[in-house]
Chain A
Amino acid sequence: MNATYKRVVTFLWTILWASMALHSPSLAQTSHGTDVAVVVNSDTPVADLSLSEVRKVMLGERQYWSSKLPVVLLIRAPAARERDVVLRVIYQMSEAQFKQYWVAKIFRAEAASPPRIVYSNDMQYELLTALPGAIAFVDSRNIRPGVKVLRVDGRLPGEKDYPLR
């Protein structure tokens, strides 16, 4: 009787831990594809940011590149790989947490609007070139002239230990 229940309990614990392990980001999320570049409007007075500085910008804690140049956040619509990378590496949030974060941020009067959603790379490039202070995330294979690619932690996309992939 006791031995049977011990086995049952052991089995159940095994299931529990196995399901937790499968849900853990390290196993469940594999990184496919290429690096995601941080790109800004060409007039933005910045060339190199640390990952924590990029995070600060994307969290809306840094809202100005300079006194006269506000940051304009652009983010791809859900399902784009660039957005997945931004949410996973920079925000470290799920889609629901990201939405709640921006509702709360605006509600706290810390920001007037959430990041602007862009639906395609073309649209993203148009906005990057047209809006001073714009920052966006682009698959490094699709980088085009007309924008500035930022170093993150001193590294460009494609270099070893580049953090956004």
Chain B
Amino acid sequence: MRRRLPVLVGLMIFAAGAARAQTAPDQTEQIRILLERVQQLEKRVGELETKTIAAAVPTAEAAAPVPAAPKPEMAEAAPAPAPMHQHEQTESQATTRQLEARYPSLQIRGFGDVNFSTTDQRGVNSGFNLGQLDLHLASALSHKVTYFGELTFNAQPTGYTVEVERSIIRYDYNDFFKLSFGRYHTPIGYWNTAFHHGAWLQTTISRPEMIKFGGTFIPVHFLGVLAEGNIPSGGAGLSYNAGVGNGRGFPISRPGDAGDNNNNRAWVANLYSRPAKLYGLQMGVSVYRDKITLPVNPAGNEFREWISAAHIVWTKETPEFLAEFANVNHKNILTNAITNNQAYYVQMGYRLPWFEKTLKPYYRFEHTHTPLSEQLFTNQDLVQSIVGMRYDITNYASFKGEYRNFKRLPTAPRVNGAFFQTDFTF
């Protein structure tokens, strides 16, 4: 048996190697021929589709003016194609009209997920839960005005709640200045504006604790006005977001959709760089300033809040690297007592080259610290490690499995858990 094993392995390798050596050049040639054939068929399909569209277009429209004549500085590399017949012109003009922008042009995309979890935490039941059903709306109202909306349907013990997550109208002046009004995801750090509510977009099952939905560490939503754009900076690839809004409402996890609860506006500024020579890299800093007013509290009900955050991410998947840090500073206006809360996470993933690149293992470490003297937040201490695997079933759906190990309070026991999710976009 001991002798047979290496012999068998050797034979398998030899057979596999021989097969690959024999087939590799043939396969390359076959692939090339097939691709050429596919391109020919694509062209044919395009032509047939054009004919179908043309058949549906009224004759009057077919009389539209032909495209502008070529200018002298234009390409002269190839001879001009033979003049088109009238029906060919009609077909191509119909196709062009089909692809020309129309306003408003509403697009709807949905996201959803289904989860299963089990942990060794006492008092917590294992089982399935339905994640958010998320509908995203995007509609160009003109070539410079666009509307974006996002609605979620959230499962609750007694039914479902509907939430307007984002509702934004944006006016583009140019790449350097775009102005929008509405309800946003606050541009602090990276994750909060990169992945929003679509679990399928993110590598992991859940968001980091510091920016979880319904959490308080960072104000996830922001209602107000936001300017954004690129900054002329050559290869540095600088961009900015700067906004003014209501800030935290009450409870502090909400952004005061129905009106601010004080006369002080919050502001946020985010500066980030995507260097041209390091495609995939993004790094940035953010600051957020607010005055928070709580219901009457004998120890003072008004607080100044400063949030400073930094992030560095490498968005390519071989590897993927995300890291964010945020410090939340609170000052009690009555007593001048100051507290600092910190949170960070580091996440790494790698898209494996096998199985058609459908597998992506990942690891995330996150840490949140709130001091005992903190007056605004409840304790949010957390030390957590997550290791998991994402498997992309198709281009638009995935399975994820995670093992989590976390500890909240120093006196609390460590908790182990297994989490599974299937998420998708439609």
Chain A interfacial positions (CB closer than 8 Å to B) = 1, 4, 7-8, 11-12, 14-15, 18-20, 22-24, 30, 32, 39, 42, 50, 52-53, 55-56, 61-64, 66-67, 70, 72, 77, 79-81, 92, 94-97, 99-100, 103-104, 106-109, 112-113, 116, 118-123, 126-127, 129-131, 140-149
24 contacts between A and B (CB under 8 A): A4-B5, A7-B6, A11-B10, A23-B353, A42-B74, A52-B279, A63-B172, A64-B175, A70-B143, A92-B280, A99-B395, A103-B201, A108-B193, A108-B196, A109-B170, A116-B99, A120-B43, A126-B67, A126-B92, A130-B67, A143-B77, A144-B81, A146-B70, A147-B75
| Stretch binding the partner chain, chosen from B114-122, B133-141, B287-295, B333-341 | B133-141
Please report the C-alpha to C-alpha distance between residue A132 and residue B423 in the assembled complex, in whole angstroms.
39
Q: Which of B28, B69, B239, B353 has the largest number of chain A CB atoms within 10 A?
A: B353
Q: Could you tell me if B230 and A104 are in contact, using CB atoms closer than 8 angstroms?
A: no
CB-defined contacts of A99 to chain B, threshold 8 Å: 395-396
Chain B interfacial positions (CB closer than 8 Å to A) = 2-3, 5-6, 9-10, 13, 16-17, 20, 28, 32, 35, 38-39, 42-43, 45-47, 49-50, 67-71, 73-78, 80-81, 92-93, 95-96, 99-101, 105, 107, 109, 136, 138-140, 143-144, 146, 148, 166, 168, 170, 172-175, 180, 193-196, 198, 201, 230, 235, 237, 239, 274, 276-277, 279-280, 316-317, 353-354, 357, 392, 395-396, 425
Q: Could you tell me if A42 and B70 are in contact, using CB atoms closer than 8 angstroms?
A: yes
Q: Could you tell me if B13 and A14 are in contact, using CB atoms closer than 8 angstroms?
A: yes
With A52-B235, A120-B43, A126-B92 known to touch, is A66 a contact of B68 (CB < 8 Å)? no
Task: Please give me the 10 A-B residue pairs with the lowest Cβ-Cβ distance, nearest first.
Answer: A119-B46, A52-B276, A120-B46, A129-B67, A146-B70, A109-B148, A23-B353, A112-B140, A79-B38, A67-B174
With A79-B35, A127-B99 known to touch, is A8 a contact of B425 (CB < 8 Å)? no
Which of chain A's residues has its CB closest to B43's CB?
A120
CB-defined contacts of B45 to chain A, threshold 8 Å: 119
Q: How far is the CB of B76 from chain A (nearest CB, A)?
A: 6
Q: Could you tell me if B354 and A23 are in contact, using CB atoms closer than 8 angstroms?
A: yes
CB-defined contacts of A72 to chain B, threshold 8 Å: 101
CB-defined contacts of B317 to chain A, threshold 8 Å: 97
Q: Which of B10, B47, B74, B139 has the largest number of chain A CB atoms within 10 A?
A: B74
Q: Could you tell me if B46 and A107 are in contact, using CB atoms closer than 8 angstroms?
A: no
CB-defined contacts of A149 to chain B, threshold 8 Å: 75, 77
CB-defined contacts of A67 to chain B, threshold 8 Å: 173-174
Q: Could you tell me if B9 and A123 are in contact, using CB atoms closer than 8 angstroms?
A: no
CB-defined contacts of A22 to chain B, threshold 8 Å: 20
Q: How far is the CB of A93 from chain B (nearest CB, A)?
A: 9
Please report the C-alpha to C-alpha distance between residue A122 and residue B42 in the assembled complex, in whole angstroms.
12
Which of chain B's residues has its CB closest to A134's CB?
B99
Q: How far is the CB of A75 from chain B (nearest CB, A)?
A: 12
With A39-B75, A56-B276, A112-B139 known to touch, is A120 a contact of B42 (CB < 8 Å)? yes
Say which residue of B76, B105, B274, B279 sits within 8 Å of A113 (CB atoms): B105
Q: How far is the CB of B338 from chain A (nearest CB, A)?
A: 35
CB-defined contacts of B175 to chain A, threshold 8 Å: 62-64
CB-defined contacts of B76 to chain A, threshold 8 Å: 145
Please report the C-alpha to C-alpha distance between residue A51 and residue B122 in the assembled complex, in whole angstroms.
57
Known pairs A104-B194, A109-B180; list 10 more (Cβ under 8 Å).
A4-B2, A42-B73, A66-B174, A77-B42, A103-B109, A106-B138, A107-B109, A107-B136, A119-B45, A131-B99
Q: How far is the CB of B31 from chain A (nearest CB, A)?
A: 10
CB-defined contacts of A142 to chain B, threshold 8 Å: 78
Which of chain B's residues has its CB closest to A120's CB?
B46
Which of chain A's residues has its CB closest to B73's CB?
A148
CB-defined contacts of A109 to chain B, threshold 8 Å: 138, 146, 148, 166, 168, 170, 180
CB-defined contacts of B276 to chain A, threshold 8 Å: 50, 52-53, 55-56
Please report the C-alpha to C-alpha distance between residue A53 and residue B35 in the assembled complex, in whole angstroms.
29
CB-defined contacts of A107 to chain B, threshold 8 Å: 109, 136, 196, 198, 201
Q: Could you tell me if B78 and A122 are in contact, using CB atoms closer than 8 angstroms?
A: no
Q: How far is the CB of A13 from chain B (nearest CB, A)?
A: 11
